Amino acid sequence: MEIGDAESLRNIIEKFKDCPRIVRFFVTTGSFNLFALIWVEDYHTLESVSLERCSLRAQEGIRRFEIYPVQEVHYESFIDIRVISEKSLEFAPCGVHCGGCGRYEEKRCMGCPATKFYRGML
């Protein structure tokens, strides 16, 4: 989706946060600035969730909307990420000290997931 402004983008994400069909929203910096991973049972359901009043396409602020049905999933059907349970390091494995980083201090970075500075969900 190409969303016209930040307020519309926030409104759409908030409105659909509990929708059981939306697996994830992805905000990007491209011309299409909001992607939604949507699960449906069949093609007819896909038409319904893309054309009806309650659909993402019908929301205020949407300039362009395209659907790319996934026909096949190759490789694993999950994203393999490494979660570090103890976040106790002072320095990241790459040697960076998140506590002294301007982007971290300005809350424009979550910090390294291996350090005590990490603010994210992992």
Listed range (59-63, 75-79, 84-88) with the worst mean pLDDT: 75-79
Predicted pLDDT at 80 = 63
Q: Which two tokens stand for residue 55?
A: 């659909």
Residue 114's closest CA among 86, 95, 94? 86
Together in a domain, 60 and 88: no
**């694993």: which residue's tokens?**
76
Residue 34: which domain range?
2-64
**Number of domains within the chain:** 2
Together in a domain, 60 and 87: no
pLDDT in tens, 95-116: 778 888 887 888 888 888 888 9
Residue 94 lies in a domain: yes
Can you list the positions of beta strands (E) in the chain?
2-3, 22-27, 34-38, 62-64
Together in a domain, 57 and 110: no
Together in a domain, 58 and 94: no
This prediction's pTM: 0.63
Residue 46 lies in a domain: yes
Helix (H, G, I), strand (E, B) or coil at 45: helix
- Other Cβ atoms closer than 10 A to 88: 9
CATH number, domain of 30, equals 3.30.70
pLDDT in tens, 3-59: 999 999 999 999 888 777 888 899 999 899 999 988 877 787 787 778 776 688 889
Predicted pLDDT at 35 = 95
Burial (Cβ within 10 Å: 0-12, 13-18, ≥19) of residue 56? buried
Residue 69 lies in a domain: no
Residue 7 lies in a domain: yes
Together in a domain, 11 and 47: yes
Which of 72 and 14 is assigned the larger pLDDT?
Answer: 14
Predicted pLDDT at 107 = 84
Q: How confident is the model at residue 86 (pLDDT cuts 50, 70, 90)?
A: confident
